[in-house]
Amino acid sequence: MHVERTLQALAAITDEGFFERLATAILREANPTYCSLTHTGVNIAGKTVKSPIDGICFVKGADPPT
């Protein structure tokens, strides 16, 4: 898929919860550090919610703690 088509597809997403889940999945796939990322910006119904923290994860064994 061309970059322009990808940008258009992302811009066309109107379901905010889906977009948040997609972005989190991409982060988890792109960087192994984020595999345990807990996404706090979407509720159980899949709707976005205001949260002071958008995502959080603790990396086991990281020095310094991450």
Does position 1 have pLDDT exceeding 80, yes or no? no
| Cα dihedral sign, 28-18-2-11 | negative
13-63 pLDDT, tens digit per residue, is: 999 889 988 988 898 899 888 888 887 888 888 888 887 777 777 888 888
User: What is the rounded distance in angstroms from the CA atom of residue 54 to the CA atom of residue 22?
Assistant: 14
Residues whose CB is less than 8 angstroms from the CB of residue 10 and which lie 6 or more positions away in sequence, other chains included? 19
Element (H, E) at 23: helix 16-30
Helix (H, G, I), strand (E, B) or coil at 46: coil
pLDDT at res. 50: 84
